[in-house]
Structure 1
Amino acid sequence: MKYIKKNHEPKKFSDWKALENDDWKPNWDDNFQKPEKSIVHDSLLQEQGYICCYCGMRIARATSHIEHLKPRTTYPNLALDYTNLIASCQGESEEPPPVPVHCGHQKKYWYDKQLMVSPLEVNCTDFFKYPASGEIKPTDDPTKQAAAETTIEKLALNINKLQNMRKVAIDAALLGIEDLTDAEIQQLAEGYNQLDSNGQYTPFCAAIIYILKNYF
């Protein structure tokens, strides 16, 4: 999981919501459609560097959906609150979502303030550790373990599919690394924290950064 720094919501989204009057109210289920929904979706993808808010795999509009961090069933007042919207893998049009289900579709209506590790928390990466096998595990910090374990379980972040994808990404990042100095390896790790020229993060960059910073 990588920290997501929220930007201001798109102006066209703000303008659309500002049209509310006695006869019409913006509503997620009834009238939140194109172009506003597509504009919001694209904005979320851009601010996340085109990786899933939870697992970190590469996503695009067709392969992701707009996720409510706090479910709109429980928090209806946040249904159109941009600060509560993020983009998760597995597309909105894939209903039911393809097996194995993970991330936002697996999470569904679950949210627990104490046990949900949010990608909107600056320190969210501190809750997890990543061995080279591709697993995601709770940190050794006992104060963070319960939240990490619950989040991994509720979002199905440790299924074989995601483990295998992480391992492939980690293995690719480690090619030729034995020829680098410690300083160069740490510089490489910092590079994975940056967007590339296309405004994208490397898929599973959180796992790659962890490996580079903790094993070399």
Structure 2
Amino acid sequence: MLLINKHGAPNSLISNVKRLRAGEKTNSGSRQVQYRNLDPDVKHDIDAALIIEQGGLCAYCMSRISSETMHIEHYHAQHAGADDDDELSVRYDNMLAVCSGGEGNPRPQQTCDKHRGNEPLTVDPRREDHIRSITYKSDGTISSLNSDINKDLNVTLNLNMRQLKNDRAAALDTLKKQLLSHGSKKFIDMCRYYAQRYESQQKKTEYVGILLDYLHRKLQRQ
């Protein structure tokens, strides 16, 4: 999981929400300001903005996503704001882009928002302190010293599902081979190079969280 720095909402979303609000005023009680009522072009703009914002990775598992494969995840469930915040479903700061989460598979093979459903989360990829609490093992296991966050990773989001663990471990093994190919004398220099490279990427490397965790731990020992 990576830190997501939220940007401003697309202008088309702001304009569309204003029009929906105006419609509500003329038709009291109609509750038009909902994600499902946004124009198709606006939803497309949201998808594109989220993909750029997240470097083309799922907000939870860090697998590759595209406009064709992604889904919109409302961090706070859309219906959670029915009484306190009627516009929760159209707030851009509440939106994340996620993968298909194994949709259609048996529940043990589902991940991310598909496995979560409407369960509340403690872990928030928009919070740096939460991301800093997350660590990885060489076998691809993701965990946190924070017990609530650890439960989210393991249970609610099912991010230690076997295939995901294997994919993360494979990405780490590839990095290790690349580092060793430059020789042991240049190992730390190459760790620094790859860390800077991954941190500056606009389109991020798949499962880059485990890669940065490994590199930073190596660099901290110097």
TM norm structure 1: 0.85
Cα displacement (A) at 1:125: 2.2
Specify the alignment match of 1:102 in structure 2: 111
The yes-or-no answer on 1:131 pairing with 2:141 is no
CA distance in 2 between counterparts of 1:52 and 1:150 reads 16
Cα displacement (A) at 1:173: 1.5
Name which of 70, 75, 90 aligns with 1:69: 75
Q: 1:212 is aligned with what amino acid? A: L
1:76-115 Cα offsets, whole Å, 9 max, x none, are 4211100000001107xx8x54442110111110114xxx
Name which of 172, 181, 187 aligns with 2:187: 181
1:173-216 Cα offsets, whole Å, 9 max, x none, are 22231223323312322321122xxx310011110111122246
Moved beyond 3 Å, runs of 4+: 96-99
Specify the alignment match of 1:80 in structure 2: 90
1:53-85 Cα offsets, whole Å, 9 max, x none, are 001111112221000001112124211100000
CA distance in 2 between counterparts of 1:183 and 1:32 reads 49
CA distance in 1 between counterparts of 2:79 and 2:44 reads 22
For the 8 Å contact 1:55–1:103, the answer to whether it is kept is yes
For the 8 Å contact 1:2–1:119, the answer to whether it is kept is yes
Specify the alignment match of 1:43 in structure 2: 49
The yes-or-no answer on 1:117 pairing with 2:117 is no
For the 8 Å contact 1:125–1:206, the answer to whether it is kept is no
Name which of 194, 208, 212 aligns with 1:209: 212
For the 8 Å contact 1:190–1:209, the answer to whether it is kept is no
For the 8 Å contact 2:198–2:205, the answer to whether it is kept is yes
CA distance in 2 between counterparts of 1:145 and 1:125 reads 14
Query: Residue 67 of structure 1: SS of its match in structure 2?
Result: strand
For the 8 Å contact 2:153–2:160, the answer to whether it is kept is no
CA distance in 2 between counterparts of 1:47 and 1:102 reads 21
TM norm structure 2: 0.83
The RMSD of aligned alpha carbons is: 1.9
Specify the alignment match of 1:27 in structure 2: 34
For the 8 Å contact 2:16–2:38, the answer to whether it is kept is no
Specify the alignment match of 1:58 in structure 2: 64
CA distance in 2 between counterparts of 1:151 and 1:213 reads 21
Query: Residue 192 of structure 1: SS of its match in structure 2?
Result: helix
CA distance in 1 between counterparts of 2:150 and 2:196 reads 24
Structure 2's unaligned 5+ residue stretches are: none
Query: Residue 93 of structure 2: SS of its match in structure 1?
Result: helix
Query: Residue 137 of structure 1: SS of its match in structure 2?
Result: strand
